[in-house]
Amino acid sequence: MASLARESIERPALLAEARRSRPGPLTWLAHNYLFVRIPLLAPDAFLRATVGVVAPLFSRVFAALVVLAGLAGLYLASRQWDAFLAAFMHLVTLEGVLLYGIALAVVKSLHELGHAYAAVRYGCRVPAMGLCLMMLFPLLYTDVSDVWRLRSRRRRMLVGAAGLLVELAIACLATLAWAFLP
């Protein structure tokens, strides 16, 4: 009974101390400016509903086709190497910079979807996707923190590498497309 009385006296003092020690918004921002997450979507239901649609993209056949497309694209680009290098001069114009920015936003969005779909494929939740500020520079992020529960190190690694693999597939297909498009 005495311990309950002592707890009831100490509790308000401890709560008041906790409130006083909580940093203000500016102090918090100064200490946490390196990485701030702003969740924009809760994509788990959408990802689970559509994971079957993208399942063929996780197959070995698709991976082999992408590698073949990349090799064919490199071969065809190497035959027109001067034209290939000259195409990059378009990026110096205003139109080129704008198109590059749009392409970068699309590729980075697909990169994050790669992580998300890989996580859902292995049974993990993806509670949030959004924007993060890393040293006040905006980046996209996908919360795949549930992946740590996977027992297979290979699966954890594939979820982590999925974004890069998506970007490599896009690069292979884009290189092949360059050879055939004006």
* 109-167: pLDDT as tens digits: 999 999 999 999 999 999 999 998 877 788 899 999 999 999 999 999 999 999 999 99
Q: How far apart are CA 58 and CA 62, in angstroms?
A: 7
Q: How far apart are CA 131 and CA 124, in angstroms?
A: 21
User: Which residues partner with 37 through β-bridges?
Assistant: 132
Tokens of residue 29, six digits: 């921002």
* 62-92: pLDDT as tens digits: 999 999 999 999 999 999 988 888 888 888 8
Q: What is the pTM of this model?
A: 0.77
